[in-house]
Amino acid sequence: MLDTGSEQAFVAFERVQKSYDGETLVVKDLNLDIAKGEFLTMLGPSGSGKTTCLMMLAGFETATHGEIRLQGKEINNIPPHKRGIGMVFQNYALFPHMTVAENLSFPLEVRKIGKSERETKIKRALDMVQMGQFGGRRPAQLSGGQQQRIALARALVFEPELVLMDEPLGALDKQLRETLQFEITRLAHDLGITVVYVTHDQTEALTMSDRVAVFDDGRIQQLAAPDALYEEPQNSFVAQFIGENNTLHGTVKQMGKESCTVELASGEVIEALPVNVSQVGDRTLVSIRPERVEIDPAPGTMEHTLDAEVKEFIYMGDVFRTRLAVAGKDDFVVKTRNRANQTRLRPGQKIRIGWMPQDCRALDP
Amino acid sequence: MADATTGPDQFTGPTPDNAIREADRAGRTEPMVAADGTPLKRSLNRALRRQKLRALALISPLLIFILVTFVAPIADMLFRSVENQIVSETLPRTVVALEDWDGTGVPDEEVFRALAADLVVAEELKNHTRLGSRLNYEMTGMSSLMRQTGRDVDEIGEVLTDQFVELDPAWEEPATWVSLMARDGWVEDQAEWVAAAEEAEAAQDAAATPEERRALAFDEPEPTFRVSDAAQEAFPRTARIYGQFADITQTEDEDSPTEEEPWNIVYQALYEDLSAGTAQGYDGPEADLVARSEAAVSDFDAPSVRSFFVDEIDEDWADPEVWGTIQAFSSPYTAGYFLSAVDLKLTPDGIEAQDADQSIYILLFERTMFMSLTIMFSCILLGYPIAFLLSNLPMRTSNLLLILVLLPFWTSLLVRTSAWKVLLQQQGVINDILVWIGLVSDTNRLALINNQTGTIIAMTHILLPFMILPLYSVMKTIPPSYVRAAKSLGATNWTAFWRVYFPQSVPGIGAGCILVFILSIGYYITPELVGGTTGTFISNRIAYHISSSLNWGLAAALGTILLVLVLALYYLYDRIVGIDNVSLG
């Protein structure tokens, strides 16, 4: 976990716990520092506590235990409207009885900003999301994407330094989502604001964030930059949650510093990078990314090769996805790029597969 | 407006924008045609016709039920508010004769003669008491006047009857009258009918078994009596009254005019006709008798009908106001009920304000309005927080509480209202508690029932669910994220509520207000039971006129005004709030 000193952290969660019913903890001992200007994503399956964390930061939920600090100041007891945090909701939450301009004017009016200044700011915010001509419309007259742009503009119009986004693109179609992902990151970068973004879409998390906090079971499982998260998952949950992953069960036979030997359930022995296994005899889950597996590698290039049988071949356009039976499991997936002379495998074909030991990570079972 | 291809988001699905653009485009081109060249609109209509017919067939049972049991009675009731045919139907001659009366003094003999003829017929048909009740709404005393007159009116003309009979006993014979008055051939038809009846009777007597006897029963009615054209021309009044006499004898008394001596008033009419000289040169049946009688009538002692009415029956007949009332309400349709309903009255001199001690309806309308509004606002005040709470609680709890809200519906309205009587009376629970706490002294107990306070308390309680339910169902649809968004944007709790939550709950308030207001404006049972004299509504007055005073016309007029008032308020509401802003959830 990144250890920035609490003093310079822009947002800090310290030993935060949250329980709704007094029996179970939804958030268990959360420690998280967010730097100024950072784009941090909270990623996790539903019920993992990520939205609760966001709501505690926004002030709509109170922490049962622990401290939340904003710019070094404890905000646990500050009501939401005094926190000055912009927020974008999944259902946009645009006020249906107000026009777009009135929606944007609302945060400025409650801050008692003069009319002319309000108009300048509204115009600037609308232009920022390229919705300049839509000021007179009602939210119901806009499409989902347009509404989300307005919601974004409204969260930014009063120039908060911290903006929270709760699955803002969840209700949009794929293409629109990608356009808006790009725009949100661009805006966040241009304006230099700090963004805490909640999503359950890992692609979104990986493409947008500076750092991603993977939540599960009320804890941060891993907090890291997107590439580190993907390349070096710290435990099997993260490995399986982020991207596609092949897993093989086994037992540690030999333990070294840089590598260990794992005997698979089927009896074959492979070498892997020890990540969170500590001693010989530990049960482990070995994970290998589908794109790091070679099919019929040239002899001598790969340290380990295993026998495999093709079960299914799926054409996906840019990649081929081949399902294999390997080491007694038949859900081993290999992804190969669609190159000019790439051979297409047929179900039933017997092949050999191989990978480099550093791509093969021995994790907790 | 941005074009579809240059907008920030390129949509393929239907958006409002697209629909507008589509409409623009469609407006510019020729009407769309279907594949076979017929206009698209027409082929669409044809395609939908079956569907529409089926929909109509499905609702038709309800539609017919509503038309028969709801729309028709209401239309009939509303019609009664202007209907006034009873005067012109019961007093046809008098109404015509009164047209020339100038409204001052006592009308002349001619009018009294007409009145006598009308009233004799009305008395025979027992219509004069109904007329009396009708006119009594406009002028007290008319009912007893009519009843009194009905008792004595058949004496008019008695003196003349005696003189005619004295002149020639033939006048006493029904046969004389029949031959004088009947249309050509009626006498023969009647004789045939009598013969047929006798034959049937004889056959019946001869019959052996009761069954046969029954089969031979003669049940044909006597041929309908009609006055001849000649008689009508020679004796217009006599013919008219005799025609009515014959008709009543045949239909009401089931007798034959050939066997009944005419009423005294017929002799009176005969005297009038003969004096008027219209029978000169009459050459029909009994011409000789008529000629002799005509020569004699100038020597007859004919007492004045007018003085008989005034001196013998009731001196009120000399009162111009009585006649004014009859004249004012002689037209078949009248605004009189509506005028009464707004504390005005129709007098011979035009429209005047009702006497202060009788004007009650404006006050009642105002009170109904005021109390309905008060009840509506109390319902908002009490219901809004409850609905707010309900909509923000978890489903399980809110459902339980909702059952509590609906609980009153499971007990009879009468029981609930009576319970309020127990609670609110001076020796009741609430007063006892207040005295016990020391808020009011024992000698100074609050009057909470049989007045406006009682009605407002009881009705607010009864109508509260009608406010809570629409409010709740609307509030349920307001996502909590709106208020959260408002707070995150810097609004205080109050601002977030007032500027974001409240406007979105307005449709629920609107629906609740309309429900509560319209229900309370026509409420009857509760004000009747707990309203006393100061807490009653216009509906109680309507009920009184329907069931006690039987002045249905006035009840209908009051009901119509109430309906118009509600519709006007509804229209006003639509203009101010907008009816599409009403939602039941």
Question: Do A292 and A204 share a structural domain?
Answer: no
Using a 10 angstrom Cβ sphere, with 0-12 exposed, 13-18 middle and 19 or more buried, the burial of residue A346 is exposed
Contacts of A223 (CB under 8 A, 6+ apart): A1, A2, A32, A211, A212, A213, A214
**Domain-terminating residue out of A215, A236, A257:** A236
Write down the pLDDT at residue B315: 87
In a domain, A227, yes or no: yes
Q: Rounded distance, CA A304 to CA A271, Å?
A: 8
Contacts of B545 (CB under 8 A, 6+ apart): B551, B552, B554, B555, B558
Question: Do A98 and A57 share a structural domain?
Answer: yes
Task: Give the residue from chain A lying closest to B506, CA to CA.
Answer: A97
Question: Do A289 and A149 share a structural domain?
Answer: no
Structure tokens at B443: 């000698």
In a domain, A1, yes or no: no
Using a 10 angstrom Cβ sphere, with 0-12 exposed, 13-18 middle and 19 or more buried, the burial of residue B75 is exposed
DSSP lists the bridge partners of residue A329 as A326
DSSP string, B454-512: HHHHHHHHHHHHHHHHHHHHHHHTS-HHHHHHHHHTT--HHHIIIIIIHHHHHHHHHHH
**Structural domain total, chain A:** 2
CB A188 within 8 A of CB A86: no
Structural domain boundaries in chain B: 31-80, 87-153+305-334, 158-182+225-297, 361-581
Q: Which residue has the tokens 């004299």?
A: B533
Which amino acid, B35? Answer: A
A11 torsion bin: left (phi>0), alpha (psi -120 to 50), beta (else): beta
Read off the pLDDT of residues A329-365 as tens digits, 9 standing for 90 and up: 888 888 888 887 777 788 888 888 888 888 888 888 7
Residue B32: count of CB within 10 angstroms of its CB? 11
C-alpha distance from A74 to closest chain B C-alpha (Å):
17
| Domain at A74, CATH number | 3.40.50.300
C-alpha distance from B10 to closest chain A C-alpha (Å):
8
Question: Do A113 and A182 share a structural domain?
Answer: yes
Closest among A54, A163, A149 to A103, alpha carbons compared = A149
Read off the pLDDT of residues A74-110 as tens digits, 9 standing for 90 and up: 998 899 998 989 999 988 899 999 999 999 999 999 9
Task: Give the residue from chain A lying closest to B485, CA to CA.
Answer: A93
CA distances from B7 to A215, B89, B106 (A): 37, 77, 90
CA distances from A136 to A105, A122, B1, B26, B523 (A): 12, 12, 11, 25, 45
**Domain-terminating residue out of A219, A236, A253:** A236
Q: In this complex, do A158 and B489 lie within 8 Å of one another by their Cβ atoms?
A: yes
Question: Do A35 and A93 share a structural domain?
Answer: yes
Task: Name which of A79, A91, A133 is nearest B481 (Cβ-Cβ).
Answer: A91
Residue A40 scores a pLDDT above 90: yes
Give Cα A276 to chain centroid, integer Å.
22
Q: What is the mean pLDDT of chain A?
A: 87
In a domain, A3, yes or no: no
Write down the pLDDT at residue B1: 40
Which of the 8 DSSP states describes residue B394? -
pLDDT band at B3 (very low <50, low <70, confident <90, very high): very low
Q: Which residue has the tokens 């941060």?
A: A220
Task: Give the residue from chain B lying closest to A128, CA to CA.
Answer: B8
Contacts of A35 (CB under 8 A, 6+ apart): A4, A8, A9, A10, A194
Which amino acid, A52? Answer: T
Using a 10 angstrom Cβ sphere, with 0-12 exposed, 13-18 middle and 19 or more buried, the burial of residue B331 is middle
CB A176 within 8 A of CB A21: no
Task: Give the residue from chain B lying closest to A104, CA to CA.
Answer: B489
Question: Do A303 and A219 share a structural domain?
Answer: no
Among A203-212, A266-275, B548-557, the minimum mean pLDDT is found in A266-275
Residue B304 scores a pLDDT above 60: yes
CA distances from A222 to A213, B167, B460 (A): 6, 134, 60
C-alpha distance from B473 to closest chain A C-alpha (Å):
18
Residues of A in contact with B484 (CB under 8 A): 58, 60, 80, 87, 89, 93
Which amino acid, B292? Answer: R
Binning chain A into helix, strand and coil, the percentages to the nearest 5 are: 25, 35, 40
B578 touches chain A (CB under 8 A): no
ipTM here:
0.82
In a domain, A198, yes or no: yes
DSSP 3-state assignment of A86? strand
Task: Give the residue from chain A lying closest to B483, CA to CA.
Answer: A93
Residues of A in contact with B14 (CB under 8 A): none
Q: Please list the alpha-helical segments (H only) found in B67-172.
A: 72-80, 85-90, 92-98, 109-124, 128-136, 142-152, 158-167
C-alpha distance from A98 to closest chain B C-alpha (Å):
9
B4 touches chain A (CB under 8 A): no
A317 torsion bin: left (phi>0), alpha (psi -120 to 50), beta (else): left
Read off the pLDDT of residues A128-179 as tens digits, 9 standing for 90 and up: 888 888 889 999 999 888 999 999 999 999 999 899 999 888 888 888 888 8
In a domain, A5, yes or no: no
Residues of A in contact with B1 (CB under 8 A): 133
- Domain B361-581: give its CATH architecture: Orthogonal Bundle (1.10)
End-to-end CA distance of chain A: 21
Residues of B in contact with A145 (CB under 8 A): 8-9, 11
Q: Rounded distance, CA A241 to CA A216, Å?
A: 10
Read off the pLDDT of residues B221-252 as tens digits, 9 standing for 90 and up: 888 888 888 888 888 888 899 989 988 888 88
Which amino acid, B530? Answer: V
Write down the pLDDT at residue B585: 55
Write down the pLDDT at residue B368: 92
Residue B194 scores a pLDDT above 90: no
Q: In this complex, do A80 and B487 lie within 8 Å of one another by their Cβ atoms?
A: yes
Q: Rounded distance, CA A240 to CA A243, Å?
A: 7
Q: Rounded distance, CA A32 to CA A24, Å?
A: 21
Question: Do A141 and A275 share a structural domain?
Answer: no
Q: In this complex, do B504 and A141 lie within 8 Å of one another by their Cβ atoms?
A: no
Structure tokens at B566: 């509600």
CB A341 within 8 A of CB A355: no
In a domain, A188, yes or no: yes
Residue B578 scores a pLDDT above 80: no
- Give the residue-averaged pLDDT of A28-32: 89
Question: Do A222 and A100 share a structural domain?
Answer: yes
Write down the pLDDT at residue B31: 66
Read off the pLDDT of residues B465-481 as tens digits, 9 standing for 90 and up: 999 999 998 998 888 88
Angle between helices B109-124 and B128-136 (to 10 degrees): 120
CB A355 within 8 A of CB A304: yes
CB A247 within 8 A of CB A293: no
Q: Rounded distance, CA B1 to CA A6, Å?
A: 49
Owning domain of residue A348 = 245-363
Question: Do A270 and A206 share a structural domain?
Answer: no
Name the percent of chain B lying above pLDDT 90. 19
CB B375 within 8 A of CB B516: yes
DSSP 3-state assignment of B403? helix
Residue pairs between chains A and B whose CB atoms are closer than 8 Å: 94
**Domain-terminating residue out of A172, A201, A236:** A236
Question: Do A169 and A81 share a structural domain?
Answer: yes
C-alpha distance from A217 to closest chain B C-alpha (Å):
24
pLDDT band at B547 (very low <50, low <70, confident <90, very high): very high
B14 touches chain A (CB under 8 A): no
In a domain, A186, yes or no: yes
Q: Rounded distance, CA B201 to CA B211, Å?
A: 14
Write down the pLDDT at residue A295: 83
Structure tokens at B570: 């509804």
Residue B33 scores a pLDDT above 80: no
Residues of B in contact with A60 (CB under 8 A): 484, 487
DSSP 3-state assignment of A42? strand
B307 touches chain A (CB under 8 A): no
- Best residue in A110, A118, A137, A156 for a mutation probing chain B (most B CBs within 10 Å): A110
How many residues are present in chain A?
365
C-alpha distance from A58 to closest chain B C-alpha (Å):
7
- Best residue in A112, A143, A161 for a mutation probing chain B (most B CBs within 10 Å): A143
In a domain, A4, yes or no: no
Q: In this complex, do B500 and A95 lie within 8 Å of one another by their Cβ atoms?
A: yes
| Domain at A273, CATH number | 2.40.50.100
- Best residue in B3, B12, B483, B489 for a mutation probing chain A (most A CBs within 10 Å): B489
Q: What is the mean pLDDT of chain B?
A: 85
